[in-house]
Amino acid sequence: MVGTIKPTYIKKLSRQLLQEIHAFTDDFERNKKIVEEYTNIKSKEVRNRVAGYITHKKKGGLKC
């Protein structure tokens, strides 16, 4: 699989949210709503990238 490297701010924010909020699951749609509820991110693209990274981490990440 080839993907883009996530910017540092996406990773930092995601890690902070994962530490503070324990409601995240491996469901992207649910995580999108949680990110929207607990942050003031205006950009849909940034919100989705944060939710996607959190989902990736909750699924255990893919180790190559």
Q: Which residues contact 50 (CB under 8 A, 6 or more apart)?
A: 10, 13, 14, 17, 35, 39, 41
| CATH 1.10.60.20 correct for 8-58 | yes
- Give the residue with greater pLDDT, 14 vs 3: 14
Of 20, 38, 36, residue with least CA distance to 28: 36
Q: Enter the pTM of the model.
A: 0.85
The domain spans of the chain are: 8-58
Quick check: helix, strand or coil at residue 39? coil
Work out the average pLDDT over 28-39: 96
pLDDT band at 64 (very low <50, low <70, confident <90, very high): very low
Q: Report whether pLDDT(18) > 50.
A: yes
pLDDT at 3 over 90: no
